[in-house]
Amino acid sequence: MKYPRPEFKSASVATQTVSSPFLGGETIAPKFDTPITPRENFRRAVERKNPIWMPCSTTDFQSLLTQDVAGAAPHGMQIHSDMRRKATEDYTFKDWFNTDWTWVCSAGGAMLTPGTQLLDDITRWEEVIVWPDFSEWGFEERAAQFMREEYNPDKVMHYDLGRGCTERLVSIMGGYTDSMYALAVEPEAVRDFFEAYADFMIAFFDKINSLYPLDMVTLHDDWGTERDTFFSEKMMEELVFEPTKRIVDHIKSKGVIFELHTCGNVTRFIPYTIELGADILQLQRRAVDLPKLKEKYGDKIGFCSPLEGIAPGMSYPDEEIVAAVRRTVDLYAPGGGCYTSVFFREPEKMWLGLSELYAYSRELYDKQQGRE
C-alpha cells in the first residue's frame, strides 16, 4: 500500500509539537493516525515482532534528560549538563559529584573544566567521593508535576540515565590520561569503585523508575576515540564488564529497555555489548561502519541509526532529505531492531523528513510482512 506524504500543515493530518534540545526551540510535526501507539510499535521494533513503521525518537518518544527530573539544586549543583538551557556564552557548573564542568557553546556540550581534578589517586576514592543524597533533589515533586501535566501514555517514556562507570571515573580523575592510567596500575581500586558506582546507579534507576513509567533508559559510557578503544579487551573483561552488566541486568529485570551510548570506534567491543544484554546501541556514526554492524549483528542487538548522510542543523534540498530517509530505512529498518531521529531547523524540512520516514517505512514493513 502507498501511504500519503501530506503537504506542510495539511488539513488532512493532525499535528503535534516536537522539540530538540540540541537544535533549540519547537516546531510543528505531523501526527499520523497510526493503527497502534508509538509505544507499542517501539516495543515491537526492539523485539523484532512486526513493527508497523520505523520508530522515530522525534515524534514517538517522550524523553527526559538527566537534569529534567531534578526539582531542586542543592549546594548549587546540577545532576548533569542542562541540555535545555539556551546558552549564548560558555558557563561553568558543578555536577552532583562535585566535579567542575564548562558548557562550551561551540561544541554544544560540557567538558571537564581544564585543571579540575576531584581525585588524583583512585586508591583514595572511599575518602573523597561523596555519594549524592537522593532526598535532596526534589525528584518526587518534579515527577508529580510531569505525570500530572505532561505525561503521554501513547509515547515511549525514555530517560537519559547519565554516566556509566568509565565516564564517571574520567570525571573524578580529571580526564582520560589519569583515568586510563588508573585502569592500568590500580585495577583493584578501580574495580572496587566501579562496583560501588554500579550500586549507586542501580539505586538511582530504581528511584526514577518508581516515579515514572519508564520504557527505555540510555546510559552513556564512551569507550573510544575515533581511531580505536581507550582500553583493551582484557580491561573490559576484568574491570568494566561485570559492574556494567549488573546495571544492565537490573534495569532489564524491571521490564525496561536498555540503550548504551558509546562514542568512538568501539567495533571490537560490540560482542561485549551483546553479552551485556544491551537492547540498543547508540554509536558515533562517523567512527563506526554502522551498516556493516547492522548486517553482522542486527539479529542480536538493535541500533539507534542517524539519517544517513545528514548532519543535524544543516540545510538540505528536499530531494536530499527524501533520499537520506529512504537510504536510512533501507539500511536499518529490515528485520526491526532499529529506530532513528529526524532533526531539521526549518519546520517544512522537519515535516518532510518525518512524513517520508513514516510513509516509506510503513511501505517497507507492509512488503516485508506480507501486508500489501
pLDDT in tens, the chain (372 residues): 899 999 999 999 999 999 875 566 788 999 999 999 999 999 999 999 999 999 999 999 999 998 899 999 998 999 998 888 888 899 999 999 999 999 999 888 899 999 999 999 999 999 999 999 999 999 999 999 999 999 999 999 999 999 999 999 999 999 999 999 999 999 999 999 999 999 999 999 999 999 999 999 999 999 999 999 999 999 999 999 999 999 999 999 999 999 999 999 999 999 999 999 999 999 999 999 999 999 999 999 999 999 999 987 788 999 999 999 999 999 999 999 999 999 998 999 999 999 999 999 999 999 998 876
Q: At what angle do helices 347-368 and 318-332 cross, to 10 degrees?
A: 30
Give every CB contact of residue 183 below 8 A, 6+ residues apart in sequence: 169, 190, 231, 235, 239
Do 79 and 70 touch, CB atoms closer than 8 A?
yes
Report the DSSP beta bridge partners of residue 303: 281, 338
Residue 84: name the closest of 148, 147, 12, 26 by CA: 26
Place of cell 592510567: 181
Cα 196 from chain centroid? Answer: 23
Q: Rounded to an integer, what distance in angstroms lies between the CA atom of residue 348 and that of residue 292?
A: 32
3-state secondary structure (DSSP) of residue 166: helix
Place of cell 519508564: 214
Q: Rounded to an integer, what distance in angstroms lies between the CA atom of residue 38 and that of residue 368?
A: 19
Do 221 and 261 touch, CB atoms closer than 8 A?
yes
Q: Phi and psi for 38 in degrees, rounded to 5?
A: -55, -35
Count other Cβ atoms within 10 Å, centred on residue 90: 13
List the alpha helices (DSSP H) in 101-160.
Answer: 125-128, 139-149
User: How much is the pLDDT for 39?
Assistant: 98
14-69+145-368 — its CATH code? 3.20.20.210
Count other Cβ atoms within 10 Å, centred on residue 172: 24
Q: Which sequence spans correspond to the domains of the chain?
A: 14-69+145-368
Give every CB contact of residue 129 below 8 A, 6+ residues apart in sequence: 97, 118, 119, 172, 193, 196
3-state secondary structure (DSSP) of residue 162: strand
